[in-house]
Structure formats: structure tokens, C-alpha cells
Amino acid sequence: MEIVPGIHQIDGVNGNCFIIVRNGLTLIDTGGMPRNSAKIVKYIQDILKRKPSEIKTIVLTHFHVDHAGNACDLKKLSGARVAIHEADADYVAGRKTQPVPGGAKGMIVKVLMSLFFRSMPVEPDIKLCDQDTIAGLTTIHTPGHTPGSICLFDRSSKILFVGDLMRFNGTDIEMGPLNSDTREVQKSINKIAAIDFDIMLSGHGIPLRPDASVKVREFAKSLP
């Protein structure tokens, strides 16, 4: 669906994927289930009436496979540059093993990854840092979900892409699942609560609008 003119959300890819349509196409996250790349390509061709080769940049909000799992396929198909925060780069490139939670939850995650979330590593072309600009978006380092989790702020539309830092379920704002460091997540939420934005787009859940920053500030104040 089109969120606002020129910014689209692709559903059904197990982790929201967004396309910004300007001179070229910018893809934010890629989904992780098998054949997700085909769904993304189909949306570009059938809905946008554009070519996959027009994807110029793929920005990953973090290394988890449900967000980065199809980056390798889409990079090969389009020739796009892949960008991710420097702290997550080695995970998506396969040089570091992706950590999983301990206990029963960790076992479930391992089984799901082996059965459904297999992906090829991809070498990032761009390693981002806090406040870098990529494809017209401002990078905001928001660690806690992963060490290199980022939000992306589009000043022109006042939209904030938050990855898995938070999500809106239609009623409430929630922290993202499987956080590596909850204290860091809270600091990161406080960091973005200082920004003025109209719409929050997350890696899971539905768009939060209008007055998204006001609602995020209220949520931040509710945290212990």
C-alpha cells in the first residue's frame, strides 16, 4: 500500500518492507521468508510500473534475517548498494554468528531459522554511523534490539522508520521482540522521542499516525 505519495509498504514478506520512490528506488529492509524477493519485484513491476534495476539503495535497519534475509538476492538482481550500521555489518556479511536468546525461546528461534529463515550473507557496500545521510534519509543509531539497529528519518515527509525498536499493534505501542539489551532500547526510544515526526513505520505492526511523535513521547514516559 502507499503510505503517503512516494512511500510504499509491501505486505506479506514477514517483516515490513518499504520502498521510497524518488529518482530511483530505495528499499528499506527486505523480508526474510523464501520467495519474498519475488513479491518485492512483483510489487515494483505491477504496482509501481518500475524495473528492479531502479533499486539504487537497500538500507537494512538491523541484521535479523526477517529484515535482511533477501538482501543478497535483491542486490544481485538490481545492482543496488547495501547499507547497514557498522555494528551490524559483520553479522549480515556472515563474519559473525547471529546470537539467539537462551533457553526454550532460543531453541525455537534456532529451529525457525534453520527451517524457514535461511539466507545468503551479503557484503555491505556502506557502513553507516549515527547521523549519516543515506538516500536522503538521516541515520539514527538506536541500539538495543541489536548493537547496530538504526532508525531512518525522512525529513521531507516527516516519517520515521524505526525497524524493530518499537511497533504499533493498532491499539498500543510496544517494544520490539527479542531485544538484546532492554536498557539500551529504552535509551534509544528516549532518543527518538526528541524528534518531531508525523508517521512511525515499523518492521512489524501497522503505521502509527497522526501525531506519532507525541504518542511515542507518551510511551517513553511510561517506561520504567
**Res 15: pLDDT:** 85
Question: For residue 74, how far is the Cα from the chain centroid?
Answer: 15
The answer to whether residues 15 and 29 touch, using CB atoms and an 8 Å cutoff, is yes
Identity of the residue numbered 164: D
Q: What is the pLDDT of residues 118-176, one digit of tens each?
A: 678 999 999 999 999 999 999 999 999 999 999 999 999 999 999 999 999 999 999 98
Q: Which residue has the cell 549515527?
A: 130
Please say whether the beta carbons of 134 and 83 come within 8 A: yes
Measured CA to CA in angstroms, residue 100 lies from 30, 90, 177, 197, 207 at distances of: 20, 16, 12, 32, 28
User: What domains are there in the chain, each with its CATH number?
Assistant: 2-222 (3.60.15.10)
Which residue from 76, 89, 8 is spatially nearest to 37, judged by alpha carbons?
Answer: 76
Whether 14 contacts 33, CB under 8 Å:
yes
58 three-class SS: strand
Please give the biggest Cα pair distance in the chain: 47
- Cβ–Cβ contacts within 10 Å for residue 121, how many? 13
Cα–Cα distance between 134 and 136 in angstroms, integer? Answer: 5
Say if residues 117 and 33 touch (Cβ distance below 8 Å): yes
- Please report how many Cα atoms fall inside a 13 Å half-sphere around the Cα of residue 9, on the Cβ side: 20
Mean pLDDT of 16-43: 90
Report the predicted TM-score, pTM, of the whole model to 2 decimal places. Answer: 0.92
Q: Is the per-residue pLDDT at 49 higher than 90? A: yes
Is 220 in contact with 206 (CB distance < 8 Å)? Answer: no
Over range 194-217, report the average pLDDT: 97
